Amino acid sequence: GAVVSQHPSRVICKSGTSVKIECRSLDFQATTMFWYRQFPKQSLMLMATSNEGSKATYEQGVEKDKFLINHASLTLSTLTVTSAHPEDSSFYICSAAMGQRGYGYTFGSGTRLTVV
Amino acid sequence: GQQLNQSPQSMFIQEGEDVSMNCTSSSIFNTWLWYKQEPGEGPVLLIALYKAGELTSNGRLTAQFGITRKDSFLNISASIPSDVGIYFCAGLRDGGATNKLIFGTGTLLAVQP
């Protein structure tokens, strides 16, 4: 089945530094990848949609200069949290779409970011 | 962002009991998906529904796509301790460039052995 690998699984960084999270589709090509943020005991909130070779589309209220997304190939998208602050601490999850009808929406295992 | 209304918010049941949860929306979706998320992990797809009225099973899990296309439910029969987790519904509207999933608010399931 389709596998999406997300790395790292956990990261602790100092306030003011930047952190990069990678999302790879291992056995399929993903023209579209999605980045979500999840706070404790809450649902997944879509941050942005990443299309290979073009600029990401950000959801309302998500700062594109803070959450930089790059989708350089059909198997890799990255999310960089720039100048991280403690309020950016959260669980970040990516998903990759193989097809249009939902069966291709495979999720990564998530990244727990803690900013100290 | 938009979310789907999911109920109940949480359930605490005994092993062996059946479980039912549902998801409602004010607008129509063309695809309904049910996911399970365990602590510290990403969601895992359980069942996908593509047609109004469709009833689909995956082992002890059964889900239905509501005839109005505005709701869906998930049943788990004879629950076991490993069913513990948060269950999310997600809706998808075809069309448009992005086909974004809209997630439900989640149902926390706890199963007592």
CA B88/CA B78 separation, integer angstroms: 20
Over range A46-65, report the average pLDDT: 90
For B1, which residue in chain A has the nearest alpha carbon? A45
Q: What is the CA radius of gyration of chain A?
A: 13
Q: What is the model's pLDDT at position A31?
A: 79
What is the distance in angstroms between the Cα of A114 and the nearest Cα belonging to chain B? Answer: 13
Give the per-residue pLDDT at B94.
66
Q: What is the pLDDT of residue B60?
A: 97
Q: Is B50 in Cβ contact with A44 (below 8 Å)?
A: no
Residue in B33, B88, B104 closest to A102 by CB: B33
Q: With an 8 Å Cβ cutoff, are A100 and B35 in contact?
A: no
Residues of A in contact with B92 (CB under 8 A): 101-102, 105
Interface of B with A (CB under 8 A): 1, 3, 31, 33, 35, 40-45, 48, 50, 88, 90, 92, 94, 97-101, 103-106, 108
Q: What number of other Cβ atoms are within 10 A of residue B18's Cβ?
A: 11
| CA distances for A96 relative to A21, A112, B8, B62, angstroms | 14, 19, 29, 25
Contact A57 B35 (CB under 8 A): no
More confident residue, A33 or A53: A33
Hey, are the CB atoms on A43 and B50 less than 8 Å from each other? no
Q: Is B27 exposed, middle or buried (0-12, 13-18, 19+ CB in 10 A)?
A: exposed
Reading the block at residue A79, the tokens are: 């999310």
Can you give the pLDDT at residue A77?
93
Count, residues in chain A: 116
Q: Which pLDDT band, with edges at 50, 70 and 90, does A99 fall under? A: low
Whether B43 and A44 lie within 8 Å, measured CB to CB: yes
Whole-number pLDDT of residue B74:
98
Is the pLDDT at B66 greater than 80? The verdict is yes
C-alpha distance from B31 to closest chain A C-alpha (Å): 7
Tokens 């959450």 — which residue? A67
Angle at B61 between CA B31 and CA B103, to 5 degrees: 40
pLDDT at A23: 95
